[in-house]
Amino acid sequence: MVVQHPKIAFRDLKVRYGEKTALEGINLEVAKNEILGIIGPAGSGKTSLLRVLNRTLQNTPGAKVTGDVRIDGEDIHRMRDVSGLRRRIGMVAPLPVGLPMSVYDNVAFAPRMAGVTDKKVLDGVVERCLRQAALWEEVEKRLGDLGTKLSGGQQQRLTIARALSHSPEILCLDEFSIAIDPVTTMRIEEVLKELRKHMTIFLVTNLVQQARRLADRTAFLLLGELVEVGPTEEVFGRNPRDRRTFDYVHGIFG
């Protein structure tokens, strides 16, 4: 599927760690304001794909990246302002937990690092991001409490709020654990559906049914190869283009 005017485009992307190949010849386009699910067993290169996008992989000894990666048509490896690039991309790591500081300071941390000192501005950012993460009503009277004291589901939404604090264009959720309870799961997934109106979302997940519920399209990676990418219902249907896709999404392996 060719995406018209893609927000993100990977062309012949290859990633190696020394002699080990993590990604091999990835060609993938991502549309603006879509949720792209990325599924595949451990070691398939899912995290490497995200780390190429925000250029943190370049800090890994022995890692080598070749190929072309563009955001809005601009080659990310030619961008001199790497910090600016990373502000455009919100990252939520696996097993997210709050930083050991107050709820307020968790969300205000990135704006402060970017030089924002006006308390009214910071107050506005904190409230906006907590509202976007569907957390404001639960914590508005507890902003001074430690973020690590929140419940598991609240901490997950706090990490989303923190990632939103620099108004990213792209949100990357790296094996974001949403297996708390059905009510919390549903609430967080509704948050992501709402955020799609404002940004492009990468949803890397080992929970294939989560990708089925949320993703507009789904990409299946296996041992560094992009086996298949397409509309989610086609990838999860009875006749995906590659038999390995069928076997994986139906639990025959992986």
81-138 confidence digits (pLDDT tens): 999 999 999 999 877 677 899 999 999 999 999 999 999 999 999 999 999 998 999 9
Q: What is the 3-state secondary structure (H, E, C) of 154-190?
A: HHHHHHHHHHHCCCCCEEEEECCCCCCCHHHHHHHHH
Name the token pair of 143: 């902003």
148-205 confidence digits (pLDDT tens): 999 888 888 899 999 999 999 999 999 876 546 777 778 888 989 999 999 999 999 8
Q: Which residues in the chain are classed under CATH 3.40.50.300?
A: 1-88+170-178+201-254
* CATH number for the segment(s) 1-88+170-178+201-254: 3.40.50.300
Q: What is the pTM of this model?
A: 0.92
Question: Binning pLDDT at 50, 70 and 90, where does residue 2 land?
Answer: low
201-244 confidence digits (pLDDT tens): 999 988 899 999 999 999 999 999 999 999 999 999 989 999 99
Name the token pair of 27: 């060609």
